[in-house]
Amino acid sequence: MTLRAYAKINLGLQILGKRPDGYHDIETIFHQINLYDEIDIVQNESGIHFTTDSPNLPVDASNLCVRAATILHDLTGTQGGVEITLRKRIPIGAGLGGGSSDAATVLKGICKLWNLDISLQELHLLSSGLGSDVPFFLDGGTAYATGRGEKLEPLKLSLPHWIVVVSPPVHISTVWAYSNFTLNPHVRCENMKALVADGLREPRVLVNKLRNDFEPLVFQKHPEIMRVKELLVKGGADFALMSGSGSSVFGLFSNESYANDLTEQLAAQYKVSLTEPHFKPKLNYFF
C-alpha cells in the first residue's frame, strides 16, 4: 500500500511554562496542509526493513518509522515483517511535523496491513511515546492542542485562504529551541481558539495578537527566517508566522494571484508549497 503523510503548520504557538517532567506546556492549533511524504508499506516474511530517498535520515532503529513499526510488532507478537519505503518531500527540521506524520502513517498502515485489532484510542496512547505531536497525525485535519501537544480537541476549521509555506535551508532542532527558550512572565497569553475564529473574519486580529513564542529566539539566531516572513508580508500575505520551532514560515493569502506569483518567485531559492483554500487531506485508512 502507498500512503500519504501530510505536513502541518501551527496557527500560533504559546509556551505556558515548564513542567516537572522537563517538557513544556503549550497551546497551539495544528492544521494540515497539502504537502506530504509518500510511504510504501509491504508485507514480508520477517523483520522490519526501512529505506528512504533522503540521505539525511537514519535508517536504523532510531528512525521514527522503524520505531512505530517496532512498537506494533512487539505489542502484538506478529510473526510477519514489513518493508517500509519513505519518499521524503516534507523538509526536515522545518517545524512541519514530517517525522511525526510519517510515524503516525506507519502505525495506521501496519494496523491495516496486519489486520490488527487496535482501536484509534489505543494508538493515541502508543503514539504519544514517539513524539508529542504524533497523536495529532492519527486524526489529522485541524486541532487545538495543549499539554505537550498531545491533548487534542478537534476543530472544524476550513481556512478560506491560500497557504504559502516557505522553508529556508536551515535545520532547527526542537530540543535546542525549547532548551534556549526563556518564558516572559509579562507577556499575556491570548485565548487562541477565539483568536483564530475571529481572525477568519478579520485578518487584522491575527496580525495583532496571534503569535509564535519561538520567533524572537529563532529570528535572532537565524535572521534569514525573519526575512522570509517579511517577504511573505511584502508579497501580499494577510498574515504570516513561523510554524512550530521553525524554520518554515507560512503566509495566509486571500488573493490567489499574489499567492501563485510569490510561490513561483520564491521556489527558485526555497522549498515552497501551496495549499488551496478549504483544503482537506486525502484520506488513507481510518478506524
Residues with a catalytic annotation lie at 8, 133
- DSSP H/E element including 16: strand 2-18
**Beta carbons of 222 and 248 less than 8 angstroms apart:** no
For residue 239, what are the CA distances in angstroms to 72, 205, 207, 246? 41, 10, 6, 16
Distance CA 199, CA 213 (A): 18
Name 241's bridge partners.
250
* Residues in the chain, total: 287
For residue 30, what are the CA distances in angstroms to 27, 49, 143, 154, 243? 10, 31, 5, 9, 10
Kindly state the cell numbers that stand for 38. Answer: 509518500
Distance CA 12, CA 165 (A): 15
Q: Which of 199, 110, 104, 119 lies closest to 160 in space, CA to CA?
A: 199
Kindly state the cell numbers that stand for 219. Answer: 529570528
Distance CA 260, CA 272 (A): 11
